[in-house]
Structure formats: C-alpha cells, structure tokens
Amino acid sequence: MQEEIIISGFGGQGTLFAGQLLSYAAMEEGFHVTWIPSYGPEMRGGKARCTVIVSDVEIGSPLVRRPSAAIVLNLPSMEAFEPAIKPGGTLVVNRSLIPLQSERDDIRVIYASATDMAIELGNVRLANVICLGALVQATSVVPVTAIERALDNHLPERHRKLLGINKEALHKGVELANG
C-alpha cells in the first residue's frame, strides 16, 4: 500500500499542520512516511501545501506527481490538483471556498463546507482537521484513532486548550465521508 496525498490551500489554513498530523499518525502506526512542505514567502494568504506519502514499504522517491488523494482548501488548489489525482483516487473539497464541482467521474469527491462548519464549531481554523477526517475515513490510510493520538501527542502546548474541539472537528469530517 502506498498513498500519495497533497494538502493545499492558502497560508494560515493549516495545510502543513494537517499533513504533519497525518504523518505523525502514520509513523506511529508503523508506516514509512515522507512529509514535504511548500509555501510562498507570505506569512498568511500565500500558497501553502504539503505532500505526504504513507507506505508499508520503503519510499523510493518523496516526489508526488499523480496523487492518490488530495485535500483542496481553496479555488487555486482545486484548479491545480483536481486534474492530477489518479483514477480511483479521492478528492476532499472545501465547498465553503470552492464553488466548482468536479467533472471527473473516475474519482471519489467529498464536498465539505469545512470553513462554514469550522465557524459553527467556534474556530475557522478547524477546516483543515474537518477535511483531514473526511480524507482519513474515505481512504483508510490510517485509522481515525491514530489521528486522535497524533493530536494528543503533537498538538503544540500553546494550542492544548483546542484539543477537544480539534477532535470534534475530526469526527465531523468522518461523518461527511460516511455520507
């Protein structure tokens, strides 16, 4: 098994954090993992993305050209990565910020009004975790409980008060994938 995943959006949307959570969870499950961040020079609002590869065998190359899955949090990310997903792959779309529908019928698309849902939960910055929950549930790349443990073990101390709401956001995403 090898899953190649892109998580992409604007800086400040938590794309890198979502990738880190997935990477930590996969490592703690015993998988081989790569995590490569990429972002523009802006502090917030610029391009931000990361690639994560999770594999049960050694990873030959950390480059992801044809991802098996993607989370797209904004319109430029949808335009860039929706066409690149392998047939049979999974795309999680933040419908709150992306008015487009995928025209592909060879991938699974999960539409999540993640930004709106995050606002309802009380913190707009939870959209990334909502989408991560949907992706993990849809792909089974790691168990949802592994993401919960990654939150327990790796949420920065300054954000510990947000642990419960992050887990709630994760499960909102899981519910979306269950449909």
The CATH number of whichever domain residue 44 belongs to comes to 3.40.920.10
pLDDT in tens, 65-122: 899 999 999 999 999 999 999 999 999 999 999 999 999 999 999 999 999 999 999 9
Those residues whose C-beta lies under 8 Å from the C-beta of residue 4, and which sit 6 or more positions away, are 51, 52, 53, 64, 66, 67, 68, 69
Q: Domain containing 172: what range?
A: 2-178
Q: What predicted TM-score, i.e. pTM, was given to this entire model? A: 0.91
Per-range mean pLDDT, top range of 11-20, 83-92, 154-163: 83-92
In total, how many domains does the chain have? 1
Higher pLDDT, 41 or 159: 159
Distance CA 87, CA 116 (A): 29
8 Å CB contact between 170 and 132: yes
DSSP 8-state assignment for residue 157? G
- Residues 122-140 have pLDDT tens digits of 999 999 999 999 999 999 9
